[in-house]
Amino acid sequence: MALIELSCPICDADFALGGDEKPGDEVYCSYCGSPCRITADPYDEECQIEEEI
């Protein structure tokens, strides 16, 4: 399984997902701890996450 990495919208760090995330899931940046929501299929290269208030 390929490692999925996303860029944190808060601190711009790249962090890896566990591999079973889905669109709409909330993830936490492993660097700054900010909660972020996955806005698209995390297995799509165009996937993005947005800050969760």
**One character per residue 23-52, x = contact with Zn ion (rule: CB under 5 A):** ------x-xx-x------------------
Got the DSSP string for the chain? -PPPEEE-TTT--EEE--S---TT-EEE-TTT--EEEE-S-TTSTT--EEE--
Among 4, 7, 10, 25, binds Zn ion (CB under 5 A): 10
State which residue, 27 or 29, has the beta carbon closest to Zn ion: 29
**Site residues (CB under 5 A) for Zn ion?**
8, 10-11, 29, 31-32, 34
